[in-house]
């Protein structure tokens, strides 16, 4: 991570496990988060381990305190 969660802009980089979404290859991801008075936005750039780019993604985000102490019972919902 470059920066802090409460900075106006911060960046998170990570390597993901292989996924069918990107040809069952590992991928290097870079997410940049930008806060503004109007809206918080993120931009994600990623490349797979053989160098091909994954389509850029972008959107909005919110931040809130994580109050989950045990995520085992968490259920995800597709929208």
For the chain, give the percent of residues with pLDDT over 90.
75
Handedness of CA 10, 47, 25, 44 (dihedral sign): positive
33, 40 contact by CB (below 8 A): yes
Whether pLDDT at 79 is above 70? no
9: pLDDT strictly greater than 70: yes
Residues with Cβ < 8 Å from 12, sequence gap 6 or more?
Answer: 1, 2, 29, 30, 31, 33
Enter the pTM of the model: 0.78
Instruction: Give all strands (DSSP E) within the chain, no chain letters.
Output: 9-19, 25-34, 41-48, 53-60
Give the separation between CA 60 and CA 42, rounded to whole angstroms: 6
State the pLDDT confidence band at 71, using cuts at 50, 70 and 90.
Answer: confident
């Amino acid at each position: 991570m470059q920066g802090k969660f409460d900075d106006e802009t911060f960046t998170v980089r990570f390597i993901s496990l292989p996924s069918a979404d990107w040809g069952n290859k590992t991928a290097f991801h870079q997410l940049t988060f930008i806060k503004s008075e109007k809206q918080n936005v993120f931009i994600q750039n990623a490349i797979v381990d053989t160098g091909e780019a994954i389509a850029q993604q972008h959107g909005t985000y919110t931040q809130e305190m994580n109050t989950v102490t045990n995520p085992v019972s968490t259920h995800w919902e597709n929208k």
